[in-house]
Amino acid sequence: MIAIIGIFLVFAAVIGGFLMEKGHLTVLLQPAELLIIAGAASGTLLVANPLRILKAIADGLMGILKGSPFGKERYLSTLKMMYQFLNKVRKEGLLCVEMDVEKPHESAIFKNYPGFLHDHHALEFVCDTLRTAITGGVEPFDMDQMMELDMEVHHHAAMQPIDALTTVADSLPGLGIVAAVLGVVITMGALGGPPEEIGKHVAAALVGTFLGILLCYGVVGPLSANMRKTADEHNEYLHVLRVLLLSFLKGSAPMIAIEMARRAIPAYVRPSFDEMEKTCKNKTEPAAEAAA
């Protein structure tokens, strides 16, 4: 929602300033210029990227409308879930969670946290790590290396659609120039006509450059930047899980592992120790977890 408001403010400020200077809004309505720029940008996106990245771009743009799911409540609910999970392991042994790891969607613990279940990357990250721990014979240092590698691979994949969208944003000013050059070509063909007609063609050509720059710096560029921040937030979330799991695999008590994970949470969403303790020990319940 904030992204929509931001885009609205961009257009409102640009158009409002134009109208304040007695500009005619109809001059900016150049469907042909918009078709050239938007069509060419869409074509380059299709040429440069496979279908999986195009789908990831669409999912990322939809995620912007929903807002970031990685707030304080998401972290609190995750810490509570892992506290319950690790307590079960401490009391009954690591083998007792084998079915939870193999079939997480049927797990009595995981089913209470739909937001975590819907985040298949985080779910696989936790389950794969615990599955390896159950198998045995892997030192904590090697487990840490595996988790770090997993995070790097996931983050690289998450950045591919963002880089593709950034490339499109960078190309928009150039495509605006292409539209402007075509407008100049048309203008040159109308040099023998009345001055009013020549003026309209020149204005249309300049609008092409204007649209390319506006769409680059006012719409597509900020959207790709927003997607990049979301990808970074998800990587930070995985890092918290990595710290928690590694601490437990090294032999720390569940509450100590949870506290180490809390310290790894970014400061702007980090819950206090009291909030974490009350949540984990059921003294108070966190707000309903987002389903996505």
Residue 22 lies in a domain: no
Residue 9 lies in a domain: no
Residue 213 lies in a domain: yes
Residue closest to 136 by CA, chosen among 185, 94, 166: 94
pLDDT at 158: 94
Residue with tokens 């990685």: 70
Q: Structural domain of residue 191, as residue ranges?
A: 27-280
Residue 71 lies in a domain: yes
Structure-token pair, residue 251: 């032999």
Residue 12 lies in a domain: no
Residue 89 lies in a domain: yes
pLDDT at 290: 44
Structure-token pair, residue 142: 């090697």
pLDDT at 260: 95
Angle 81-234-280 from CA coordinates, rounded to 5°: 20
Residue 187 lies in a domain: yes
Number of domains in the chain: 1
Walking along the chain (292 residues) 10 residues at a time, the average pLDDT comes out as 89 92 86 92 94 94 88 94 90 85 90 91 93 86 94 95 96 93 85 79 88 94 94 95 93 92 95 91 52 44
Residue 288 lies in a domain: no
pLDDT at 286: 47
